[in-house]
Amino acid sequence: MILKPFEYSSPHSLQEACKILERHDDAKILAGGQSLLPIMKLNLTEITHLVDIKKIPNLSSIEVSNDQKSLIVGALATHADVERSDIVKKVLPLLAETESSIGHPLVRNRGTIGGSISHCDPSGDLCVTSLALDASMTIARSDNSRRVVSAKDFFQGTFTTALKKGEILEKISFPIPPRGTGCAFEKLTLGHGDFPLIVVSVVLRMENAKCVSAAIAIGGVSDRVIRVTRAEDLLKGKVVHAEDLERAATIAEEESKPEADIDVSAEYKKKMVKVFVQRALEKAVERSNEV
Amino acid sequence: MAAQVLEEKREAITRVVNTHPRIDGRERVSGSAKYGADWKVPDMLYARVLTSTIAHGTVKKIDTAKAMSIPGVKAIITCLEDKTIWKAGDKDHERRILPDHVRFFGETIAGVAATSRRIAEQAVQAIEVEYEELPAVFSVNDARKEGAPRVWDEGNVSPPINETFGNVKKSFENADLILEGDYSTSKHSRAQLEPPVSLAWWEGDKLTAVVSTQTVHLARQSLSADLGIPMNKVRTITLYKGGGFGGGGATNYDDICALLAKKAGKPVMLEYSREQDFTGTHARWSTVQHLRAAVSKSDAKLLAIDLQAYCDIGAYVRFMRGLSYISGPDTYYSWDGWNADVYGVYTNTGTTGFVRAPAGPPSCFSVETLVDEVAYEMGMNPLELRLRNLVVKAHGHEHITSNGLEECITSGSEAFGWREKWRPPPKKISGRKLVGVGMAIANWHALLGRGEAWVRMTRDDILEVYAGVVDIGTGAKTQMAMIAAGVLGIPVERVRMIYGDTSVSPFAMAEVGSMTTGFVGPAVREAATKLRTKLISLASSKLGGTNLTIEDLTITNGRNALKISDLISGLGVDYVEEKAQTDVKLPEHTDRLSFAAHFAEVEVDSKTGQVSVTNYVAAQDSGEIVNLLTAESQVQGSVIMGIGMALSENLLIDQNYGSVANPSFLNYRLPNHTAIPKIQVIFTDVKDPYGPKSVGETGIVPVPAAIGNAIFNATGRRLRKLPFMPEEILKAMES
Amino acid sequence: MMSNLLKVTFKVNGSSKTVEVDTRDSLLDVLRDSLNLTGPKKGCDETVCGACAVLVNGKAICSCTMLAVETEGLEVVTIEGLSENNELSPIQKAFWMHDSLQCGFCTSGQIISSKSFLDGLDGRIPNEEEIKEALSGNLCRCGAYNKIVEAVAEVAAIQTHKGKMN
C-alpha cells in the first residue's frame, strides 16, 4: 500500500492543472493511474501532490481533423476507448491493434493513451506506434498556450519526455496514412498481457509495389523507443522483395541493444527483434496490397 | 473395516446423485463467503512482519524504539526476545517462529500490531536491524562444494534416501539398450490466490484463531504445542480458504499472530503480502537428476531404472519426514528393478515442502521423458511401448486394489485421436508453426485412513453432517453432503455441513494428499448408514413390519407411512444422531493407486520457440467418482497447474543475495485464460473395492512430461529442463 | 504521521455513500474496510490477478489500482451488487451451475469482468478467443478457466437470444 502521504487535487481546467504542477516540485499528474499507482506502492518515490486531471472536460475525444488528414486523440482516452473506436479501426487500425495488446482489459479500461505516452517507457507500445506514425504531441502550458512536439523529439530517454515542469500532454495527432499503406504491430512477451520485452511497429507506404516510405519503430532495445532509419532507407524508393525485408530486419537487429531480464537473455531479445521486424514488414506489405 | 462392509455401503448409495453443484456455490458467487481477511471483529488490530534482508547470519540488534513511538502501534515482538519453536516448521531441526539465526533472505524476525495496516507497515519500516552476516550458498552446486558454508551443522548434503527393488545391476547387464540423460525441474510455488492471513483473539487463557489452513485440527494441535497451551483452550476456524495446494498444521505467522494478540490484549489480524507469500512460505524443491534406463529391445521391455538425484530443499523442509523427494515412477511400469538415490541438499533459499503431488511431477518428468526417448530410439509409437509395459503388481509383488491404467491409455488416446495425430518427429524443421503430440502416464497414492463424522437428522427435515473438512476448493463439503444424502435418500439441498471449526466438528486429518474423500468419506457413509438403520428401527416400532424403506423424507412399510419429521418430533427430541469413526486399512502388500494417462498437443513457433498447448486430454482412473462436476474441475485445475510448471513457472533465486528474484505474479507467471485450451477429462469406469480414489493431485503429475514429449514430437528436439522457456527451445532448434 | 483526509461521495451498488478517506487509500481498501463489501479480494495488490475487480461506470477495473478519491461522482458496483433481492444474476447462476469456481477467491473478479464483457456485447455472440481475452486479467490458480468460459458463452447466447426475441 501507499505509505507516503500526498495531497490530492482535481482541477477543472488544464491551465489550473498546469499551475498546480508548477507550484510543487514533487507533483505528478494522475490520469488512469495504471503506471503511476503501482510505482507509488513501492514507496520509493517522493510524490507529495497528485493532480487528477480526469475532471477536465474535452480531453478524451477521438476524432478526425477537419481536413481529414489526421486522427486526433485526447490524452485521457482510455486504451479501451481507442481499441474499440470505430473511427480508429477505420482510419488507423495500427493504433487500435497496439491498444488492444496492452496489458489486459482491466488495465485497458482505466489506463489512458496520454498517460502511457507521457510515462515514456523504453518499451512502451504506444510510444513505439506513435513514433512509427510520426505523431505530434500537443502540450498545454500554464499560460494557456500550446506547443506541438513531434514524436521523435518527445521521447527523450527512459521515463523522460519533452514535457517541462508545469506542462501537460493534451492530445496526440496521428497523420492518417494514405491508401496503399500497410501497417503492422508485433510484440514479444513471455506471457499474454505481460510487460512487453520487444515491441515493433511498422508503417510502409507503397505505390505499385514500390516502397515510397518506411517507418520501423522498436521498443525495448535502447533507453528510448527508436526508429531504425538505416533499415528504412534500405527500403525507401525500392520495389521490395522478401530479401529486402530480411535485410531490413537484420539491420534492425544490429541497431538493437536490449538488456537481459531475470529470465530472458539479451541475445534472445536481439534475435527476436529480427524475427518480429521481419514478420511485421511481411504483414505490412501484405496489408498494403489488401486495400 | 473390511471391504465387504464397504460393498454394502456402496449398494446403499446406488441412489446417490453423482453430479451436483457446490452446496456453498451461492456464497462463493455472491461475495458473501468470508475468507480469512474478510473477517472483522471489534477492536481488531492489524499486523505485519519484518523479514531478514540477509540470507544467512545472526540478528545482533533490533531497535524498535522508533517503531513503538508511532501512534497506533500496540505491540511488537522480535526474534531477540521470543524463543517459540515452530514445531511444524522443519522436519529435522528446531525452527523458531522468529529466529535470530536466519537461514534465508526473508525469514520472519519481528512482528508488529497496530491500529491500521498502514501504521503497521510504517512501523515495520521504522525498525532498525543490525546483522552479523555469514557466508551463504544459493545453489546445489555451491552447497556441494568442499568447504562450502553450512546451512546446518551436519552439512548441506543429507545421506541419500534410497528406494530399491529387484536387481538393477543384473537388469543393466541383460539389457541390449541403455539410455541415459540429465533432467532438471524448477522450484515451484503454490501461489494460491489468497495471500496468507491469520486472525487471533484471546478470551482469558482461551485462544481462538481464524486460520487459512488445509486442516483446522492439525492447526489446533500445532498452536497448542507451539504456544504451550492445552488443546481444550484452543479453537481454530477455517470456513473458506482461497486455495492451498499443499500445507498442514499451523504456520509461523499463525503463532506470531496469536502472540501479538496476547501482548496487545486485542484481536490481531496478520496478513502477508503477495511478495511475502512467494518468499516466506514453502515451495516445491527443484531437482537435478541423472537417469539410466535398461531396456530389452527384442520384446520392447522396460527393465530397470537407476536414478541419482540432487534436490535443492532450501534451508528448511516441512512435512517430508520419511518421504523421498523423487519417487512414484517405481510403480509406473512392471520394472524388474529400480534403484533411486535421492539427496536433499540444503541451501540458504527458503522453505520447501508439500506442493500438489510433491515428488510427483519432477519424478514423472524425468522417467516419462526417458521412456519417450526409449520409444524414439526403438522407432516405436510411444503409446505402444507403454501398452507393452503396463504395471500389474507394484514393485513386482504388491497387489493393486484396482488398476485402470490401460483403460486410461486406451480411452484417452481414442478421445485425443492419438493414432491419427501421431507421426515421428520431423527430421528437418520447416515452416513457422510446428505441431506435435506427446503423452505421459502416472499414478498417485490413494490413501485410506482415519476419519470421523457425526450425522443428525433434525425435526425440520435438515440433515446435519459434522465433518472436519475445510474445503479449500476441492468440493469436499459437497461430496460429504452427497454421500450422506444418498444413503438417506434425501435431496442434497437438505444437508447442512457443519465443518471447519474445531469446537463443533470432529477430527479430520487434513485436506492434503488427496486423502479427504478416502478418509472422511467412509466415516460419513457409515454414520449415515447407522442413522438410516436407527430411523428405520425407531419407525418400525410405530409402523410395524420388517421391510421398511426411506424415501422422500418418509419411512414406509408398504402400507403405512410416517414422515421423519413427525417421527422425531414424536420422540420429543430435536434430532436423532449417529456417529462413526472409521479407519480403513489396506491388507499387507497391497497398494492403492489412482492412474492417469495424459495426451497433449502443442504448437511451437519455429522462430521464437514459443509454445502453446492447443489440445489436451486427461484420462484418469480415480475409482468411484462421488461428484463428477467437481472431480472434473479438480483434474482440469491440476492440468493447468502442470502447464504452468511446464512452460512458465520458476521461482528464481538471485545468486548474489539469495533473495527471490521474482516474488510477484508479474514475473512468476501463472497461466491465464489465454494460455489454456479445452481440457477434456475422462474418468474410467474401473471399480475399486474401497470406493473413491485420489483425484486432485494425480492430474498434475504427468503434465510436464506430456508437454515435453509433445515439443519433441513437434521439433525433433528433446528438452530435459523445466520450465521449457522459448529461448531454450529456440536454441535447441537452431543447434 | 500526517495524512490527507478527503470526503468522497459516490454510488456503491445503487446507493449513494459519502466516506472520509485517506488520499492514499485504494478503492479496494475503502470498499472492504469502510463499506464492509468484502466480495472483491486483495490477491496481489499490483494489477495482475484481477481478484479485486469491480465495475466503475459499468467497466471492470482493478480496484487495487484506483484511489478511493478518484471515485467522486462515479458509480461503483461490486459482486454484492449483482444480485437483486437475493436473486442471483444470470452470470452468477451460470458460474454456480457450471462449476466455474473452486476455492472461490478469484470468483468475484471473474464474474465482474464477465459482466462488463457481456454488457458490452450489444447482442453479439462472442467466440471463445474473445471471451478468454476479455478475462485475461483474471487469474485462477485452481484452474476453473474452461468452465468460466463455458458459463460466459452460455449467458452470452441466452442474452442474445432474449434480445432477438424482444
- pLDDT 10s digits, C2-50: 679 999 999 999 999 999 999 999 999 999 999 999 999 999 999 999 9
Q: CB–CB of B51/B107 below 8 Å? A: yes
Amino acid at B369: T
Asked if residue B174 belongs to a domain, the reply is no
- Residue bearing cell 496487545: B264
Distance (Å) from the alpha carbon of C62 to chain A's nearest alpha carbon: 6
Instruction: State how far the Cα of A267 lies from the Cα of A198, in Å rounded to an integer.
Output: 12
Q: Which of B583, B611, B627 is the last residue of a domain?
A: B583
CA distance readout (Å), B177 to B172, B174, B301 = 9, 9, 10
Residue B122 and residue B71 in one domain: yes
Residue B209 neighbours by CB under 8 Å, 6+ apart: B198, B199, B200, B219, B220, B223, B234, B235, B236, B237, B250, B254, B257, B258
What DSSP character marks residue B424? P
Q: At A111, is the pLDDT very low, low, confident or very high (cuts 50, 70, 90)?
A: very high
Instruction: State how far the Cα of B17 lies from the Cα of B494, in Å rounded to an integer.
Output: 14
Cβ-count burial of B628 within 10 angstroms (0-12 exposed, 13-18 middle, 19+ buried)? Answer: middle
CA distance readout (Å), C100 to A208, B629, B634, C107, C146 = 53, 10, 11, 8, 8
CB contact under 8 A, C60 and A109: yes
Q: CB–CB of A176/A70 below 8 Å? A: yes
Q: Is the pLDDT of residue C62 over 80?
A: yes
Q: CB–CB of B684/B408 below 8 Å? A: yes
How much is the pLDDT for C2?
63
How much is the pLDDT for B518?
82
Asked if residue B726 belongs to a domain, the reply is yes
How much is the pLDDT for A178?
93
Closest CB to C132: pick one of B243, B670, B674. Answer: B674
Which grid cell is B719? 528438452
Q: Is the pLDDT of residue C161 over 90?
A: no
CB contact under 8 A, C67 and A105: no
CB contact under 8 A, C79 and B31: yes
Domain that holds residue B423: 286-447+589-734
Q: CB–CB of A138/A162 below 8 Å? A: no
What DSSP character marks residue C13? T
Residue B440 and residue B453 in one domain: no
- The mean pLDDT value for A118-142 works out to 98
Closest CB to A275: pick one of B608, B672, B727. Answer: B608
Residue B331 and residue B408 in one domain: yes
Residue B726 and residue B693 in one domain: yes
Q: At B593, phi and psi to the nearest 5?
A: -135, 145
The CATH number of residue B622's host domain is 3.30.365.10
Residue B435 and residue B492 in one domain: no
Asked if residue B25 belongs to a domain, the reply is no
Q: At A16, is the pLDDT very low, low, confident or very high (cuts 50, 70, 90)?
A: very high
Q: Which residue ranges in chain B fall short of pLDDT 50? A: 1-3, 5-6, 9-15
pTM tops 0.80: yes
Asked if residue B456 belongs to a domain, the reply is yes
How much is the pLDDT for C166?
66
Residue B443 and residue B453 in one domain: no
Q: CB–CB of C115/C55 below 8 Å? A: yes
Per residue, what are the HEC states of A167-178? CEEEEEEEECCC
Mutate to test the interface with C, among A24, A106, A116, A189 (most CBs of C within 10 A): A106
Q: Is the pLDDT of residue A81 over 70?
A: yes
CB contact under 8 A, A8 and C59: no
Distance (Å) from the alpha carbon of A56 to chain B's nearest alpha carbon: 31
Distance (Å) from the alpha carbon of B38 to chain C's nearest alpha carbon: 6
Q: Which domains does chain C have, with CATH numbers?
A: 5-81 (3.10.20.30), 90-165 (1.10.150.120)
Q: Which domains does chain A have, with CATH numbers?
A: 7-51 (3.30.43), 62-175 (3.30.465.10), 181-290 (3.30.390.50)
Asked if residue B406 belongs to a domain, the reply is yes
Residue of B206, B248, B250, B277 lying closest to B49 (CA atoms): B277
Q: CB–CB of B90/B317 below 8 Å? A: yes
Closest CB to B672: pick one of A192, A261, A275. Answer: A192
Distance (Å) from the alpha carbon of A33 to chain C's nearest alpha carbon: 7
Residue B110 and residue B59 in one domain: yes
Residue B338 and residue B378 in one domain: yes
Q: Does C150 touch chain A (CB under 8 A)?
A: no
Q: What is the interface size between A and C, counted as CB pairs within 8 Å?
A: 91
Q: Does A264 touch chain B (CB under 8 A)?
A: yes
Q: At A30, phi and psi to the nearest 5?
A: -110, 110
CB contact under 8 A, A1 and B125: no
Q: How many domains does chain B have?
A: 3
The CATH number of residue B253's host domain is 3.90.1170.50
Residue B534 and residue B677 in one domain: no
Q: Which of B236, B255, B280 is the last residue of a domain?
A: B280
Query: Minimal Cα distance from B697: which residue of C?
Result: C142
- Residue bearing cell 481488531: B44
Residues of B in contact with C46 (CB under 8 A): 274, 664-666
Burial state string for B420-450 with b = 16 or more CB within 10 A and e = fewer than 16: eebeebbeebeeeebbbbbbbbbbbbbbbbb
How much is the pLDDT for B10?
46
Query: Minimal Cα distance from A2: which residue of B?
Result: B118
Asked if residue B628 belongs to a domain, the reply is yes
Mutate to test the interface with B, among A190, A281, A282 (most CBs of B within 10 A): A190
Residue B670 and residue B721 in one domain: yes
CA distance readout (Å), B729 to A180, A219, A276, B37, B385 = 38, 24, 17, 42, 26
Altogether, the residues listed in chain C come to a count of 166
Angle CA(A275)–CA(A276)–CA(A277) in degrees, nearest 5? 95
Asked if residue B176 belongs to a domain, the reply is no
Residue B480 and residue B569 in one domain: yes
How much is the pLDDT for B515?
79
- pLDDT 10s digits, C96-122: 999 999 999 999 999 999 999 999 998
Which grid cell is B95? 525452527
Q: Which of B222, B248, B280 is the last residue of a domain?
A: B280
Chain A contacts to C (CB-CB under 8 A): 1-8, 10, 30, 33-34, 37-38, 41, 50, 52, 54, 80, 103-107, 109-110, 192-193
Mutate to test the interface with A, among C5, C27, C65, C118 (most CBs of A within 10 A): C65
Residue of B320, B21, B33, B45 lying closest to B194 (CA atoms): B33
How much is the pLDDT for B544?
87
Asked if residue B247 belongs to a domain, the reply is yes
Residue B290 and residue B211 in one domain: no
